[in-house]
Amino acid sequence: MVMTVRGGIPYVFRDAAIATTGRKIRLPFLIHSLIVRNKGSSTAKVYFTEADFTADQNYVEIPVASPTYPYGEWSGNVETSSGDHSDLWVKASAGTASLEVVGFQRRG
């Protein structure tokens, strides 16, 4: 991913036991971009609001590493903001997922 925004202090979150019930990832600061790697054997979902997490809708699916998706990775410009859009929610599609989430701090 080529970054065109100055700065970008990374916050790294790893969890090898993301269940189908899911969990919230509390970000320590607002971010401007996100990289999510699936290190496990189950597809995972990333939600950007709690309402979408609860309804199981409007998510990004993180594939398992395969010849089609060699790194099991999704990345994009994701700007969080104060309030309902300041954190992320994740869950496994089946079984448990193992995720590495890297968010880059948004400045000024």
Check which CATH number belongs to the domain holding 36 and give it.
Answer: 2.60.120
Angle at 17 between CA 16 and CA 23, to 5 degrees: 115
Domain count, the chain: 1
- The answer to whether residue 59 is domain-embedded is yes
Quick: pLDDT tens for 12-63.
Answer: 999 999 999 999 999 999 999 999 999 999 999 999 999 999 999 999 999 9
Mean pLDDT of the chain: 90
- The answer to whether residue 87 is domain-embedded is yes
Residue 40 sits in which domain range?
Answer: 19-105
- The answer to whether residue 85 is domain-embedded is yes
- The answer to whether residue 7 is domain-embedded is no
**pLDDT above 90: residue 9:** no
- The answer to whether residue 78 is domain-embedded is yes
Q: Give pTM, 2 decimals.
A: 0.88
For residue 108, what pLDDT band results from cuts at 50, 70 and 90?
Answer: low
Residue 25 is predicted with a pLDDT of 96
Q: Of the candidates 58, 40, 56, 59, which has an alpha carbon nearest to the alpha carbon of residue 99?
A: 40
